[in-house]
Amino acid sequence: MSHHKVRISVNGTAGEDEIESRQLLVHYLRETRGLTGTHVGCDTSNCGACTVMLDGKTVKSCTVLTVAADGGDVLTVEGLDEQGEMSPVQKGFQACHGLQCGYCTPGMVMAATGLLLEQENPDDAAIREGIEGNLCRCTGYDMIVDSVRWAAEHGGPGTAARAHANGRN
Ligand code: FES
Ligand code: FES
């Protein structure tokens, strides 16, 4: 099995790791970097539970090879922390009950964060479009839309995501 050395920054922390060439980014994050906030919810790349930001764009990390992220910056749900406080999107999910079992939540939060980086004030249709790659079995989506709207009105994507998008972590 062939191996590669990769350098990937995750949530502002540089890492240099020897990985198998076929490893997927989601497994790199969970197993090599120990960041289990990013979930695996399917093997068909349609659930979005594995959504993270890579170099300023949301990606489903089960569809990206770790080697393809070599030299890149990744932001995961763990990296949204704002000095011990949740990001506006995380607070929105709490305030508007945007989660039940929580399995989809890290991916939903990252997808919503990516949307708010691109659109400051999306309407409900744009919010639904922004999270359409993310499946939730529990909430029926209405409360997720409310959560994202709340976040748009209370600080948007948050400071960590803005810094990530500007290439600062
Ligand atoms: S784990 Fe389901 S889309 Fe990645
Ligand atoms: S809260 Fe359970 S899958 Fe979304």
| Residue 169 scores a pLDDT above 80 | no
- % of the chain beyond a pLDDT of 90: 96
CATH number for region 80-165? 1.10.150.120
* pLDDT tens-place string over residues 39-51: 999 999 999 999 9
What is the rounded average pLDDT of the residues 4-26? Answer: 97
Return the structure tokens found at 138: 């529990």
* pLDDT tens-place string over residues 57-109: 999 999 999 999 999 999 999 999 988 999 999 999 999 999 999 999 999 99
The confidence score (pLDDT) of residue 167 equals: 87
Q: Output the CA 49–ligand 2 centroid distance in Å.
A: 10
Cα–Cα distance measured from residue 72 to residue 134, given in angstroms and rounded to the nearest whole number = 23
Q: Which of 62, 105, 134 to mutate to test the pocket of ligand 1 (most atoms within 8 A of CB)?
A: 62
Portions of the chain given CATH number 3.10.20.30: 3-79
Side by side, the strands of the sheet bearing 51-54 are 13-20, 3-10, 73-75, 51-54, 57-60
Fold of 3-79: Ubiquitin-like (UB roll) (3.10.20)
The confidence score (pLDDT) of residue 152 equals: 98
pTM strictly above 0.85: yes
**Which protein residue's CA is at the shortest distance from atom 3 of ligand 1?**
45
